[in-house]
């Protein structure tokens, strides 16, 4: 699969013709980042510049429909997200890669390994990940009710711009007493969200809420670090990380007291140091 150099970065064309934008910084063992909803590769800038400066090749892509990637009508599902990631890995011939996924990106990494295996993967990191399943079902009684996700859909359809401005509060914990989250960080969330196509934004709500990744987690056979804040208001820890760590054979759980969903930004120094330590371990 070929890559395409453009005036604003590098793109890969997938088998169905979708152009996937990606950043490729530094050299060394590859670290591949998958972002959360409704963001883009830019959400990983703090981690990428840190790890690239410490001798690693850092790659982050904009998921189809998000950021600077093209906005196809179809393919907004977890299998296709995982297949796009596999095509990117193959196009760049990445081996012994460390895959890091946040939120929906954690689901993407999990499905990628579950669907494509770990022959090119050295380690995995799931940060505030949606795994194993966010939706409340008879088999998953601790999940969130459908009404929560219907409310997100209504917000996206009704006034997406204002909805993203409001959502940035709980995303970064700015709604907690004593919070010091900057307006600039919240504005960045809004900007990245508004870059995404509304079709992808809307359909991805079903993807991150209803995709059951239980079986995929059991297929992960590489050392895995699960990082989660215990004040995550978007993906509550009790029905995500605390369950996922029991399903992954070689998993270690690191809980961050009081940390929000967007802790790669609000706690970037701690997250960066812990990522580096895990990669070097």
* Contact between residue 229 and residue 74 where contact means Cβ atoms under 8 Å apart: no
Active site residue 27: no
Distance, in Å, from the CA atom of 225 to the CA atom of 254, rounded to the nearest integer, reads: 7
Which is catalytic among the residues 232, 239, 240, 265? 232
- Annotated active-site residue 69? The verdict is no
232 is catalytic: yes
Q: Which of 35, 61, 66, 261 is catalytic?
A: 261
From the list 97, 142, 103, the residue with the least C-alpha distance to 124 is 97
Got the DSSP string for 29-64? EEEEEEPPTT--GGGGHHHHHHHHTTTEEEEEEPPT
Contact in structure between 81 and 110 (CB atoms under 8 Å) = no
Closest-CA residue to 201 (of 84, 274, 104, 127): 104
Give the single-character DSSP code of 118. S
d(CA 215, CA 219): 7
Give the C-alpha separation, 36 to 42, whole Å: 11
Among residues 34, 103, 188, 209, which one is catalytic? 103
Other beta carbons less than 10 A from residue 219's beta carbon: 17
Catalytic residues: 103, 232, 261
């Amino acid at each position: 699969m070929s890559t395409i150099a453009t005036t604003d970065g590098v793109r890969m064309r997938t088998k169905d013709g979708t152009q996937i934008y990606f950043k490729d910084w530094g050299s060394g063992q590859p670290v591949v980042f998958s972002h959360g909803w409704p963001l883009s590769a830019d959400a990983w800038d703090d981690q990428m510049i840190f790890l690239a400066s410490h001798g690693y090749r850092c790659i982050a892509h904009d998921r189809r429909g998000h950021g600077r990637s093209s906005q196809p009508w179809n393919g907004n599902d977890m299998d296709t997200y995982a297949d796009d990631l596999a095509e990117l890995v193959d196009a760049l011939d990445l081996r012994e890669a460390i895959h890091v996924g946040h939120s929906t990106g954690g689901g993407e990494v999990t499905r990628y390994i579950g669907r494509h295996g770990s022959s090119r993967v050295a380690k995995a990191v799931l940060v505030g990940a949606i795994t194993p399943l966010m939706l409340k079902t008879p088999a998953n009684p601790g999940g969130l009710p459908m009404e929560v996700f219907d409310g997100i859909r209504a917000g996206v359809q009704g006034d997406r711009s204002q909805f993203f401005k409001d959502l940035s509060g709980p995303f970064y914990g700015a709604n907690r007493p004593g919070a010091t989250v900057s307006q600039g960080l919240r504005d960045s969330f809004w900007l990245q969200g508004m870059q995404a196509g509304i079709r992808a934004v809307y359909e991805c709500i079903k993807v991150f809420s209803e995709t059951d990744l239980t079986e995929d987690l059991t297929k992960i056979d590489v050392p895995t670090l699960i990082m989660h804040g215990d004040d995550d208001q978007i993906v509550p820890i009790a029905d995500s990380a605390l369950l996922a760590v029991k399903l992954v054979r070689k998993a270690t759980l690191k809980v961050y007291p009081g940390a929000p969903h967007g802790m790669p930004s609000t706690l970037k120094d701690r997250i960066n140091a812990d990522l580096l330590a895990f990669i070097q371990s």
